[in-house]
Amino acid sequence: MKRVVWIGTACLLSLPALAEIPNSYRAERWEGSFRVIGLEGQSFTGDGGSQAKVDDDIGFGFDFAYNLDERLSLGFALEWVDTDFRTTTQPVAGGTAFDGRGDLEMTTMNVNGTYHFFRKALTPYVHGAMGATYLDTNVPTGPSTPVCWWDPWWGYYCGLDTPTLNDTVFSYEVGAGVRLDVNDQFFMRGGYSQQWLDVDRSAGTVDQGLWRVGFGMLFQ
């Protein structure tokens, strides 16, 4: 929240210069962008007092949106983050606690809405999103089994498939940032969001911070 307030304050301080900024080019146009994501690591406690810590990492994504006017846009986003995690598992009935490490894959799909405060090419914005996040810990939950499939490059192929601990959870977020329409075709933006994941096995909703920098194109 402090970061969001800082971004908003910086934008308000620039209000006297708004008269020098041209109007935006985004009204009634489609857009698409590529984004780089910075995941802020988090620690949380699960059932029975077990703990997990997710490391900071970098991810990627893209989004498509339609600008209803200069202020409001509605869109769809798809993002991937692959990071490391560490766990401390608590014993039951006289057992021994132990630590573990793993690789966490997160894939998020959401629908979102963005409100731009100004009709100018440079403007602060706020946004909200909701969707689903697929979590795969890559922790085996059973023996590997042989499977076969048709590969587009190698043809008929067989290998081993190992079931892992995974889940698809409801996710939602709010955030703020700044956008610049460089010209009538290119734009860039950057901001910070707080995302919440409804993970059943945790002792509450898991929240995490996300930094994003995006570069995109406007279409007629």
Residue 191 in tokens: 């901001």
Look at residue 213 in the predicted model and tell me its pLDDT.
Answer: 96
Q: Residue 48: pLDDT above 80? A: no
Q: Residue 90: pLDDT above 80? A: no
Domains and CATH numbers, the chain: 2-136+164-219 (2.40.160.20)
For residue 143, give Cα distances in angstroms to 41, 55, 137, 161.
31, 28, 16, 9
Identify the band that residue 50 occupies on the pLDDT scale cut at 50, 70 and 90. confident
Identify the band that residue 81 occupies on the pLDDT scale cut at 50, 70 and 90. very high
pTM listed for this prediction: 0.80
Mean pLDDT score across all residues of the chain: 84
- Per-residue pLDDT reduced to its tens digit, 153-207: 778 888 888 888 788 999 999 999 999 999 999 999 999 999 998 877 655 678 8
Residue 101 in tokens: 């490490």
Look at residue 89 in the predicted model and tell me its pLDDT.
Answer: 73
Kindly report which listed range (35-44, 96-105, 147-156, 179-188) carries the lowest average pLDDT score: 96-105
Return the number of other C-beta atoms located less than 10 Å from residue 1's C-beta. 9
- Per-residue pLDDT reduced to its tens digit, 19-30: 577 888 899 999
> How do beta strands 30-39 and 57-67 pair?
antiparallel
Look at residue 111 in the predicted model and tell me its pLDDT.
Answer: 97
Residue 23 Cα to chain centre, angstroms: 29
Q: Residue 84: pLDDT above 90? A: no
